[in-house]
Homo-oligomer: A and B are copies of this chain.
Amino acid sequence: MKNYIEKNKDRFLSELFEILRIPSISSSEANKADMQRCAEKLAEQLLAAGADSAAVYQTAGHPVVFGQKMVSPELPTVLVYGHYDVQPVDPIELWKSQPFEPEIRDGAIYARGANDDKGQLFMHVKAFEYLVNEGKLNHNIKFILEGEEEIGSPSLGAWAKEHKDMLACDVILVSDTTMISDKVPSINCGMRGLAYVEVEVTGPNKDLHSGHYGGAVYNPINALCKMIDSLIDDKGHITVKGFYDKVVELSAEEREMFARAPFDMDEYKKSLDIDEVKGEEGYSTLERTAIRPCLDVNGIWGGFIGEGAKTVLPSVAHAKISMRLVPNQDCNEIARLFEEHFLSIAPKGVKVRVIPHHGGNGFLIPVSSNAYKAAAKAMGEVYGIEPVPSRGGGSIPILADLQQILGVNPLLMGFGLERDTIHSPNESYLLDQFYKGMESIALFYKYYTK
């Protein structure tokens, strides 16, 4: 595909930029029309790339794009999953260029969604276009591009159930993850699940003057801090009752295989500018982020957070708390256990509410599958190195659902790198990875059989 890329580079970029310019932030009500616009643009691009059909389907939430080219019922069918929605852009002041004005700097595309997932899904569209135009398409290819991945895909599960037959396939192919490094290509064999909750702690029924009431009334921020602090003990264990009950311990052998992935602790700490890592006792950093569950406060707010000083004893404090889960932990069960636990530790003097957000289960993909082998061969050729099987720490909850609904495994060929800082300011995607990804995807089809 190298030559084809060389010839069409400029057009590829200008087509990708058209999508990147649309601020398709799924969590923001204000961007609802942008979601529709982005979906329509992608359906157009699928048709232009050679799809027999491509359409925008309305759901209870943001629309789903589905397109396909059916060559023959005998041939294997690949379902490409991607998402066109993106994360919010705050803190906006840290962006060097506007998040929705894509820019190429130092060999990388900078924009919100440059990598996650517009840049990565776009590689599939162009590999598909190449196969069609060069007459090399020996598979049926289907695309399902959703607009709610960043908010937990609340609508796609129901939509997929309804359109189960239309989505029938032999493998789900996804590029929405990272590889270990551009020197060490890797393929994700598993992803963590996610349980996400919001908590609200209410003290007095109104904001109070901290001079008149301070010292006598339980401050809900102080209470929230106490409760949050108690969620993780000194050994890094999560204290929610029953949290670890279904976690499967890995064998020494499995842990050894996992430890083969290269990892430089000094480099890791340096890149984050931290003097020490922190996590569950008895596990390595790679294990802590992949095969072990964890709990993080994603956001906290309460009281006066403006400029200057206000002496208020606030009425309410909030936090967003998420737990990354490993396979076998059920996200709904964990959210329920969290709620029970959090309510049980509420001190007298405050009231506590737990509001569950989206969640999803983790999953594991067998290394022995044909799809994994084809991907490994394709990436080995493009990168000149055999890829390493790895486990992802992030979550794509909908993939666990699709796996269950369609009865096929997802394969995660991700071409992102840590440097891309997805979800953060200055998200980027290296052009080199962008093009190598396309090549790898095109070669995957060369090697993949049922």
Contacts and interface: CB of A to CB of B under 8 A. Distances in A.
Interface of A: 26-29, 87-88, 90-91, 150-152, 178, 192, 194, 196, 198, 203-219, 221-222, 224-226, 228-229, 232, 272-280, 285, 288-289, 292-314, 317-320, 322, 324, 347-350, 357-358, 392-395, 418, 421-425
Contact of A88 (B277, B280, B306): B306
6 contacts: A196-B309, A208-B424, A211-B394, A214-B324, A215-B288, A225-B229
Given A225-B225, A424-B208, A214 B393 contact: yes
A288 B87 contact: no
Contact of A225 (B208, B224, B289, B301): B224
Nearest to A236: B215
Given A218-B274, A272-B204, A279-B216, A300 B297 contact: no
A209 to B, nearest CB: 5
- How many copies of this chain? 2
Contact of A211 (B87, B211, B218, B393): B393
B225 A278 contact: no
Closest CB pairs A-B (n = 9): A211-B394, A215-B294, A27-B308, A299-B303, A218-B278, A205-B273, A276-B348, A225-B225, A221-B297
A27 B306 contact: yes
B394 A209 contact: yes
A311 B298 contact: yes
A322 B272 CA distance: 31
Max chain B CB contacts within 10 Å: which of A214, A299, A319, A358?
A214
Nearest to A210: B296
A429 B220 CA distance: 27
Contacts of A393: 211-215
Given A229-B226, A304-B90, A311-B298, A215 B395 contact: no
Given A207-B425, A217-B272, A289-B213, A311 B302 contact: no
Nearest to A324: B214
A418 B317 CA distance: 23
Contacts of A275: 348-349
Contact of A301 (B224, B285, B305, B350): B305
A298 B314 contact: yes
Contacts of A392: 211-212
